[in-house]
Structure 1
């Protein structure tokens, strides 16, 4: 019997100048290239996915303090999987097996279930559809509550974007344009403390709305108050000095975006890329309730993101 690679069954999508590789574990975006150039930091098919690269984060993104929360009068305790911060991080979907239910040369739909378990006693079906075309790679996720009671839910994605080669301190020379008018400050455990305007805090150190070089700025923050176009689309761009780079866009289902400059990575991966993570809710939303979704029994909710290359 042949076994799948460590990252699960592999699915390759091609259209125009784009090629994407999707891994079955976590329905993860394993690699994405445009004209042969990496748009996201890739990982190998037979490699344990590092640093949540390309993962889907559900039923909560980011951290839940102490892994504890209270919903509808009931207390819940999640498994602590980030020891340094004593928190439950990035949900339950990232290590699930997703199986293909539809596929052609340019699209695949993968299905997986978050099963009821201690700390999260709801069953939620996730259908993740990746489709590739001349305008880049689109990811659409449909979350369906198959439980008898309302399920608390939040979602995000975790691509590490590139505007050149992924190498140590590469981000210092790249320009970031990101739409957030407010930034969520955090404590030493990366848990939220205060929401402040980006143009009023520390001389605008986190204000990237007009686009500027990242240089020495350290980012591991959630932003909201997102600027959107007339179609409700928000966008963030990461570019090199010659204008090449990567753009990510998302719809109104996500009112937050976490941006991380990989400062906690070591060796060649330190500040090698920028994780731009559109999310439906902020960190610790299971406790704060801010923008936390409650999916009714039998109800489905949909979310969409797109990544494309800039030339």
Structure 2
């Protein structure tokens, strides 16, 4: 019979490094390029631009993550965010046509089950909490999932439920994408930032694990062009 010694073992694979125990233990630490990866603190990444030229430059920043909840599929998951408006778009090419009130905004604020709900568009009017952060989350029926956190500069949130992807990718994940401006901002100028010479702009987004949070979700349908029932 092998006796657990508790000896720690270090494992490396590319930029990843892990510390685990020899027998009977679990993962003690995980890093990437020397940065700790921890479910309690989550991950933080930043996108920044600096204007090194002589004229002001138009800038829009965003991140493009796709996430899943630990169990079930998109129809079983609950999406939570606090927004007031949605960017309308054409059905064929998703060309922006205007901005309207978000249908059933209260249901997403409380947590909306995604069965029968399709998203491929951007929402705005995002509420800042007392700590100065905006939040969005995706959870399963157990309340386990992920939460995004970002600051005041991220005025928009792009959402995509992967309905148009082929095969096994269809409704296999949800894109939750904080950004500083909506699609087509370089043409319509909505929330487009102009960075002066010598100045910079930075968007920082954090993602962390949620465990066993009561979602209070209800099923239903969102109606509109960019958020609609399927």
Q: Which bin holds the TM-score, normalised by the shorter protein?
A: 0.7 to 0.9
Q: How many residues align?
A: 190
Give the SS at the match of 1:308: strand
The alpha-carbon distance between structure 1 residues 248 and 214, as it changes in their structure 2 partners (threshold 3 A), is same
- Pairwise CA distance, 1:231: 2.2
Return the match for 1:293 from 187, 193, 211: 193
- Pairwise CA distance, 1:135: 1.3
Which structure carries more relative contact order (alpha carbon 8 Å, separation 6+)? 2
Map of 1:154 onto structure 2: 60
| Superposed counterparts of 1:27-176, under 5 Å | 105-106=34-35, 134-164=40-70, 170-176=73-79
- Per the normalisation by structure 2, the TM-score is 0.75
Pairing 1:183–2:83 present: no
Checking the alignment, whether the CA contact within 8 Å between 1:18 and 1:134 is kept in structure 2 is no
Q: Give CA deviations for 1:104-162 in whole Å, capped at 9, x if unaligned.
A: 5216xxxxxxxxxxxxxxxxxxxxxxx86741001122311122211111011011111
Pairing 1:283–2:183 present: yes
Give the SS at the match of 2:165: coil
Give the SS at the match of 2:108: coil
Give the SS at the match of 2:87: strand
Give the SS at the match of 2:84: strand
- Pairwise CA distance, 1:11: 3.7
- Pairwise CA distance, 1:310: 1.1
Distance 1:194 1:17 in 2: 50
Give the SS at the match of 2:74: helix
Pairing 1:272–2:172 present: yes
The alpha-carbon distance between structure 1 residues 144 and 237, as it changes in their structure 2 partners (threshold 3 A), is same
Return the match for 1:12 from 1, 16, 26: 16
Map of 1:198 onto structure 2: 102
The alpha-carbon distance between structure 1 residues 292 and 105, as it changes in their structure 2 partners (threshold 3 A), is same
- Per the normalisation by structure 1, the TM-score is 0.56
Checking the alignment, whether the CA contact within 8 Å between 1:182 and 1:224 is kept in structure 2 is yes
The alpha-carbon distance between structure 1 residues 14 and 252, as it changes in their structure 2 partners (threshold 3 A), is farther
Where does the alignment leave 5 or more consecutive residues of structure 1 unmatched? Answer: 1-9, 22-103, 108-130
Distance 2:18 2:126 in 1: 31
Instruction: Name which one, 1 or 2, has greater alpha-carbon Rg.
Output: 2
Map of 2:150 onto structure 1: 250
CA-atom RMSD in angstroms? 2.5
Q: Give CA deviations for 1:253-305 in whole Å, capped at 9, x if unaligned.
A: 11000110011111111000100000100010001111111111121112110
Distance 2:141 2:97 in 1: 35
Checking the alignment, whether the CA contact within 8 Å between 1:14 and 1:106 is kept in structure 2 is no
Where does the alignment leave 5 or more consecutive residues of structure 2 unmatched? Answer: 1-13, 20-26, 212-230
Pairing 1:209–2:209 present: no
